[in-house]
Amino acid sequence: MPKKIDDVLSAETAWGAVSSRDRTSDGSFVFAVRTTGIFCRPSCPAKRPNRDNVEFFLSAEEASAAGFRACKRCNPEEAVRTLGEKRVREAAQYIEQHPDESLSLDALASRVTLSPFHLQREFKKIFGLTPRAYQAALRVGRLKSNLAAGESVSRATYSAGFGSSRAAYETASKTMGMTPGEFRRGAEGKRIRYEIGKSYLGKILVAATDKGLCSVALGDHASELERDLEKTFSGAVITNTKGNDKQMSKWLELVVAIASGKKTQSPPLDISGTAFQLKVWDALRQIPAGTTRSYSQVASELGLKGASRAVGSACGKNPVALVIPCHRVLRTDGEPGGYRWGVERKRQILTAEKAL
Ligand SMILES: [Zn+2]
């Protein structure tokens, strides 16, 4: 049940903000005038209406649903959208900085002056997760890197923000498919091989575990690519196979073929990500070479209309360039948008794929 505006701020406070044309209140609510049928942001420069004719709403949508039209002068929809997003990002930042705090949606919402209903919904649009799931994912990420760095299980769970080892075991088993202890033993012994090759895109690094590719990266210098690989898989034993490993050479060859736009079979993958990222990456692999989608199309295909930014950030976290073709996702206006390995490379790959 969506909360009413009275739960977040009182009508007096809201009216005070309207009377003083308080800019800092833009985005936290809108006010509607019954006599004109129009709603405005608090700082709208238009003449103040009579208090008796004013109603307050937490969002432009709610005001529209109640039959009001947006004021053309102050564009309240824009204020609610951009400031709402700013507040959602503040909430995310708060979660990041307080990993060990037990999270209540109500407390978080009032901290960033949004209604719990809006915070939950907008948070999901931007990050693809609820605030609670976001916190859990952050904790698991910290837990993994603590364990991979060799910390003891109890120390790693505590500093990742888990209040108890039981909570860590439960979350880890659910999201990692193994207990923290098993993960620690796995990280210690993890062996990664890699091979670096060349293509028209510059240097290509292909890295793999025994199960499949865990990283494909593009760059100008081999040393940079190697440094990034070590950072990502700190704790693992990493070896450069330098052309002496048949399977690695084969996989590198396949990736170079994909880079030149050829339709080839893709090597097996051994990648990890959040449930949402895995879902997005899976959707990307369904986009045929030579075609593209927009971020919002991918979001809709996943049943997450409006989550195009969350899709964009999952694309940005793609661990295997080319093999998961995040380069086939563009902005709605046809512009390439971002690319983890450089926008110019994204353009080049798309041109190569179109030419075939
Ligand atoms: Zn206005």
CA 83 – ligand 1 centroid, Å? 16
Domain that holds residue 165: 133-188
Residue 95 lies in a domain: no
Assign 245 to helix, strand or coil. coil
Residue 212 lies in a domain: yes
Distances from the Cα of 180 to the Cαs of 137, 155, 175, 289, 319, in angstroms?
Answer: 14, 11, 11, 39, 23
Pairing mode, strands 54-57 and 38-40: unpaired
CA 50 – ligand 1 centroid, Å? 14
CA 70 – ligand 1 centroid, Å? 8
DSSP 8-state symbol, 216:
E
CA 81 – ligand 1 centroid, Å? 15
Helices (H), ranges, the chain: 5-8, 11-19, 60-65, 76-97, 105-111, 116-127, 131-148, 153-159, 165-176, 180-189, 222-232, 246-259, 275-284, 295-301, 308-316, 343-355
Strand arrangement of the beta sheet that strand 54-57 belongs to: 54-57, 30-33, 38-40, 69-70
Give the number of residues written for the chain. 356
Q: Are residues 280 and 346 in the same domain?
A: yes
Provide the 10 A C-beta neighbour count for residue 271: 19
CA distance linking residue 234 with residue 230, whole number of Å: 5
Pairing mode, strands 54-57 and 30-33: antiparallel
Give Cα 104 distance to the centre of its chain. Answer: 21
Q: Token digits for 223?
A: 């040393």
Quick one: how many helices (H) and strands (E) in the chain? 16, 10
CA 61 – ligand 1 centroid, Å? 15
Pairing mode, strands 202-208 and 213-219: antiparallel
Assign 185 to helix, strand or coil. helix
- Which residues are CB-neighbours of 142 under 8 A, at least 6 positions away? 99, 159, 160, 161
Please choose, from the candidates 238, 236, 139, the residue with its C-alpha nearest in 3D space to the C-alpha of residue 186.
236
Residue 48 lies in a domain: yes
Q: Are residues 281 and 350 in the same domain?
A: yes
Contact 212, 270 (CB under 8 A): yes
Q: Are residues 156 and 182 in the same domain?
A: yes
CA 219 – ligand 1 centroid, Å? 50
Q: Are residues 178 and 212 in the same domain?
A: no
Backbone φ/ψ region at 202: left (φ over 0), alpha (ψ -120 to 50), beta: left
Active site residue 44: no
Among 188, 209, 232, the domain boundary falls at: 188
Torsion angle, alpha carbons of 141, 143, 144, 145, to 10: 90
Assign 38 to helix, strand or coil. strand
CA distance linking residue 341 with residue 114, whole number of Å: 36
Q: Token digits for 32?
A: 């509607």
Residue 106 lies in a domain: no
Give me the pLDDT at residue 2, please.
44
Active site residue 40: yes
Residue 163 lies in a domain: yes
CA 29 – ligand 1 centroid, Å? 13
Catalytic residue among 40, 71, 74, 315: 40
Total domains, the chain:
4
Among 31, 55, 76, the domain boundary falls at: 76
Q: Token digits for 222?
A: 């081999």
pLDDT in tens, the chain (356 residues): 345 566 666 888 899 999 999 887 887 789 999 999 999 999 999 999 999 999 998 888 889 999 999 999 998 888 777 777 888 889 998 988 887 788 889 999 888 887 788 888 888 888 888 898 888 888 888 888 788 777 788 888 888 888 788 888 887 777 766 777 777 776 666 789 999 999 999 999 999 988 889 999 999 999 999 999 988 887 678 899 999 999 999 999 999 998 888 877 888 898 887 778 888 999 999 998 889 999 999 999 888 877 888 899 899 999 999 999 999 999 988 888 889 999 999 999 999 888 87
CATH of the domain at 251: 3.30.160.70
Residue 127 lies in a domain: no
Assign 320 to helix, strand or coil. strand
Catalytic residue among 71, 214, 315, 326: 326
CA 88 – ligand 1 centroid, Å? 24
CATH of the domain at 37: 3.40.10.10
Q: What are phi and psi of 309, to 5 degrees?
A: -70, -40
